Amino acid sequence: MVRKYKTYIRGFDEELGGGIPEGHLILVSGTPGTMKSSVAYNILYNNIKHEGSVGIYVSLEQSRENLLFQIESLGQHDIEDLKLTILDMAKIRKEVDMTKERPWLDVLKKHLIYLKDSLNFDMLVIDSLPVVEMISKIEDERAYLFYFFEWLRDLKVTTFIIAEISPDPTMVYPEEFLADGIILLTMERVNEVDVSRRIRCVKMRGVNHNTGYFTLEFKDAEFQAGQAI
């Protein structure tokens, strides 16, 4: 039986048929301000704390200090006691000579292979895909992402990649076709002055899931999904 990783978003895992299948590569997509990083971190944190997982959070742009400051707002203060490693690639990129002979992505892969061998982690978050594309100077985006995603799958871990999207609903992104699942986060206007965060599972291979929108709130130290109004 395939293991499933819960999102630890109350009311949402039931709509996913119990969770996310082991080994899937999931996009956590959304416009700015939709708490993509917080949702991805929350999934990682709670599976480490409650399910015995070992996790890596790769920050490509935000410093470790800034990420920890953000985490504090979620009330998750016991990171030092968990099997969770934050890989600050922003710092590493400053320290390593990123020549054409040593592209930064090779440095990232080297670090992940080392951590896989030494820690045998089973969950991975990469924050974020737009930074991967920007600093890799991609020419053939779809081919590049195909080989990168396949490399990640070969690690035999469950991966969450944070992806920034445009508010324009007509935009098509090649990574959406390559991923095993997409969790979409949006901001919806509910009246003249208020907006509501929403969450939706766009696709999840091998899972009979609800494709509808749900409100997303963080209250009482946990994420909660409810019926969208």
Q: What's the whole-number mean pLDDT along residues 146-155?
A: 94
Residue 101: what residue type?
E
Most confident of 66-75, 87-96, 101-110, 145-154: 145-154
Q: Quick one: pLDDT at residue 138? A: 63
Q: Quick one: pLDDT at residue 117? A: 97
Residue 163: what residue type?
A
- Region of poorest pLDDT, from 3-12, 37-46, 96-105, 220-229: 96-105
- To the question of pTM greater than 0.75 for the whole model, the response is yes
Q: Quick one: pLDDT at residue 67? A: 85
Cα 76 from Cα 110, distance rounded (Å): 29
The DSSP call for residue 214 is: E
Tell whether the model's pLDDT for residue 173 goes beyond 60: yes
CA distances from 1 to 6, 20, 30, 43, 46 (A): 15, 13, 31, 21, 22
What structural domains does the chain harbor? 24-184 (3.40.50.300)
Query: Torsion-angle region of residue 143: left (phi > 0), alpha (psi -120 to 50) or beta?
Result: alpha
The DSSP call for residue 77 is: -
Q: Quick one: pLDDT at residue 156? A: 97
Greater model confidence, 142 or 178: 178
Tally Cβ neighbours within 10 Å of residue 5.
25
pLDDT per position as a tens digit, 201-210: 999 999 999 9
pLDDT per position as a tens digit, 89-110: 877 766 665 555 557 778 889 9
Contact, 124 vs 23, CB < 8 A? no
